[in-house]
Amino acid sequence: MPEWEEVITPGRFDGQTVIVTGAGSGIGRATALRVAKEGGRVIAGDVSQERLDDLVAEVPDLGIVPVAGDVSAEDSVQRLVAAAGGRVDALANVAGIMDHFHGLHELPDEIWERVMAVNVTSVVRLSRAVLPLMLGAGRGSIVNVSSEAGLRGSAAGAAYTASKHAVNGLTRSAAVMYGRKGIRVNAVAPGATVTHIEAPMDSDLAKEVIAPLFGAVLPPAAQASELAASITFLLSRDATNINGVVLASDNGWNAI
């Protein structure tokens, strides 16, 4: 693929407070950095204190506010919103985990419950917490990170696939419910992206059925900053007329 270089748009998020989850690594980290470099006050959530410390240490002058905690738990969500100090212009729900490619017949309860908690419940809890602030302000933008697995049944196991389809549903429901109140809610569906996400294929069924499909259609992996470019566009006011979309950012995988 041709080389891509991130170009900062100075001031695009000036005066705005933006919560980004999963900010310690990969797509969330790239999104937090992009927003902060473009003038936004970033409240950075991640379950890993160490990763957040690294992020802040890398750019100490950008004023990123780290809030460590499990974003599927209500107390962490409340701490993130409290750190925003009564104003949230935009929210990027990026934190997520993969499953182990289990099919339904072999899906362990603990994987189902954890994947749904981190990928779906966190989006419910955090959106629920910031929407009253956005409604009060009469404006706001939420971007949820979905996946290629939210667009098709052949990109992950049952739990992750169901979780990302649920993210799309939450996105569309909220877009309709709050669109006329000035709040836009969109999703980005990344294809393969170079990050630290773990995706062990622990299923013989997936090795037989899914793995060969990857070999046939998977486009080259993107850099996390390329996903941040898509996410920050939808977060920004340039996306003014866009509400309720699930935007594939996947090098064209969705078209195959």
Ligand X SMILES: NC(=O)c1ccc[n+]([C@@H]2O[C@H](COP(=O)([O-])OP(=O)(O)OC[C@H]3O[C@@H](n4cnc5c(N)ncnc54)[C@H](O)[C@@H]3O)[C@@H](O)[C@H]2O)c1
**Interface residues for ligand X in 30-89 (CB under 6 A)?**
45-48, 51, 70-72
Can you say how many angstroms the Cα of residue 170 is from the centroid of all Cα atoms in its chain?
13
Does 187 sit near ligand X (CB under 6 A)?
no
Report the distance separating Cα 145 and Cα 148, nearest Å. 10
Ranges within 21-40 binding ligand X (CB under 6 A): 21-22, 24-28
Clarify whether 207 is annotated catalytic.
no
Site string for ligand X, 156-185 (x = CB under 6 A): ------------------------------
**Catalytic member of 25, 147, 160, 225:** 160
Q: Provide the minimum distance between the beta carbon of 14 and ligand X in the complex, in angstroms, as a whole number.
A: 26
Identify residues 100-159 at the interface with ligand X (CB under 6 A): 118, 145, 147-148
Least Å distance between CB 179 and ligand X? 24
Active site residue 173: no
* Nearer to ligand X among residue 137 and residue 202 (C-beta): 202
What is the C-alpha separation between 126 and 124, in angstroms, rounded? 6
**Nearer of residues 195 and 230 to ligand X, judged by Cβ:** 195
Query: Does residue 76 have an active-site annotation?
Result: no
Closer by beta carbon to ligand X, 64 or else 241: 64
Distance in Å, CB of 55 to ligand X, minimum:
9
Q: Which residues make beta-bridge pairs with 65?
A: 43
Q: How far is the CB of 24 from ligand X (least distance, A)?
A: 3
Of 37, 122, 163, 164, which one is the catalytic site residue? 164
Query: How far is the C-alpha of 139 from the C-alpha of 246, rounded, in Å?
Result: 20
Q: How far is the CB of 16 from ligand X (least distance, A)?
A: 22
Please select the residue that binds ligand X; options are 64, 95, 158, 248, rule is CB under 6 A.
95
CB of 89: closest distance to ligand X in angstroms?
21
Residue in 190, 229, 233, 236 binding ligand X, rule: CB under 6 A: 190
Q: What tokens does 25 get? A: 């690594």
DSSP string, the chain: ---------TTTTTT-EEEEESTTSHHHHHHHHHHHHTT-EEEEEES-HHHHHHHHHHSGGG--EEEES-TTSHHHHHHHHHHHTT--SEEEE----------GGG--HHHHHHHHIIIIIHHHHHHHHHHHHHHHHT-EEEEEE--GGGT-SSSS-HHHHHHHHHHHHHHHHHHHHHHTTTEEEEEEEE-SEESS-------HHHHHHTHHHHHHH-PPPEEHHHHHHHHHHHHSGGGTT--S-EEEESTTGGG-
Active site residues: 146, 160, 164
The site for ligand X (CB under 6 A) is made up of 21-22, 24-28, 45-48, 51, 70-72, 94-97, 118, 145, 147-148, 190, 192-193, 195-197, 224
